[in-house]
Amino acid sequence: MLANPHKYVVAGYAPSVRAALAEAFDMPVGTNCQGRINTALRYLGFDKVFDVNCSADFTIMEEANELVERIRNGGVLPMFTSCCPGWITHIQKNYPQLLPNLSSCKSPQQMFGALVKHIFSKLSGVAPEDIFVVTIMPCTAKKGEKRRTFTEGLADVDAVITTRELAALCKENGILLNELSDSEPDKPFGEYTGAGMIFGATGGVMEAALRTAVNILDPDAPFSPLEFVQVRGLDGVKSAVYSVGGKKLNVAVVNGLANVNKLCEAVARGEADYQFIEVMTCPGGCVMGGGQPIRATIVKHKAEIAAARANVLYSADRVMPNRRSHNNASLVKLYSDYIGEPCGEEAHKLLHTHYRATPKYVKE
């Protein structure tokens, strides 16, 4: 497709890719190489280089507003996050009774494709069917996820490559990441906040959503917290209680499939008193996804690798001029010009989906 003159090829990469790709080029664990990724993708021939951090901000806008709507209007609680495709497959097969608890939001990857094909196409004048969307992900399950959602008859995402596959593609083309200079992503889907950045670490989606949800629930509060440190870290299950607008907000963060199962069983029995639960099936979250560079344990212990990669995201968040998704200027303008209100009619068409139970075992 990069060599096809009739296709406009667009790239977007997930938050945790920038925290790990450098390792494939013998750079230290914990190196943030996002600027070099932009340069490498342009050398490879992509027509536009965007950042999935931006669509992570869109995910937060939709997810936070959905959570607030459920809390205010007696919706199904607790609400589960829906950005991990491994988790979506797991709940569809093993806990179909909990599907009403899932957020209806598409993942940032699928939102990215829908936004590019149906909004960027208007901005650029390129027909949606001529745009080929490629995402670079830390997760092998994202390859299957691209077949899940369509908008107006077009697949949201056309191709998914992993962090390791991007490294291989660069090397095949003589592009050495450690020798590149930094460059910026393209607009408008290259502008993002610190909230979008931290998605790749376990607890990051929860913290990002809370930064916006707390603001919606209690807009007159004199101080709205930026950091919710209780949901950070590599523990398999984390929980916290926050007081928002005179009400208690109970949240939980779970990563690793064994921990996911225990929490799902508790929710199914009505024993989990939470309003919002973040779920990631990979221990440590996306930074330790199955498509990330593989480090021998003799080089570094897995927990140290996860912590170093997560620190890339949290460190970048701390220096961002805007750290809440609803302060993303490009996002605000795109809602105003094309989408309307979060969780509105156009937002549901572009940015939301639905789920169904699937058999545990399918004979091919």
Which CATH number characterizes residue 333's domain? 3.40.950.10
The answer to the question of residue 321 being in a domain is yes
Average pLDDT for residues 216-234, to the nearest whole number?
82
The answer to the question of residue 360 being in a domain is no
Domain that residue 197 falls in: 8-351
- Residue 217 is predicted with a pLDDT of 87
Spell out the residues 6+ positions from residue 117 whose beta carbon is closer than 8 angstroms to its own: 128, 131, 133, 151, 154, 156
The answer to the question of residue 364 being in a domain is no
What Cα–Cα distance (Å) separates residue 147 from each residue in 121, 128, 150, 155? 21, 17, 8, 7
The answer to the question of residue 357 being in a domain is no
Element (H or E) spanning 122, and its range?
Answer: helix 121-124
The answer to the question of residue 126 being in a domain is yes
Average pLDDT for residues 190-198, to the nearest whole number?
96
The answer to the question of residue 36 being in a domain is yes
- Residue 360 is predicted with a pLDDT of 72
The answer to the question of residue 144 being in a domain is yes
What Cα–Cα distance (Å) separates residue 102 from each residue in 114, 154, 239, 242, 269? 20, 24, 18, 21, 17
In the chain, how many domains are there?
Answer: 1
- Selection from 74, 86, 81 nearest residue 101 by Cα: 81
With a pLDDT cut of 90, the percent of the chain lying above it is 89
- Residue 299 is predicted with a pLDDT of 53
Segment 28-70, tens digit of pLDDT: 999 999 999 999 999 999 999 999 999 999 999 999 999 999 9
**Residue-averaged pLDDT of the chain:** 94
Segment 119-144, tens digit of pLDDT: 999 999 999 999 999 999 999 999 99
The answer to the question of residue 298 being in a domain is yes
The tokens of 63 are what? 């997810």
Segment 264-282, tens digit of pLDDT: 999 999 999 999 999 999 9
pTM for the model: 0.95
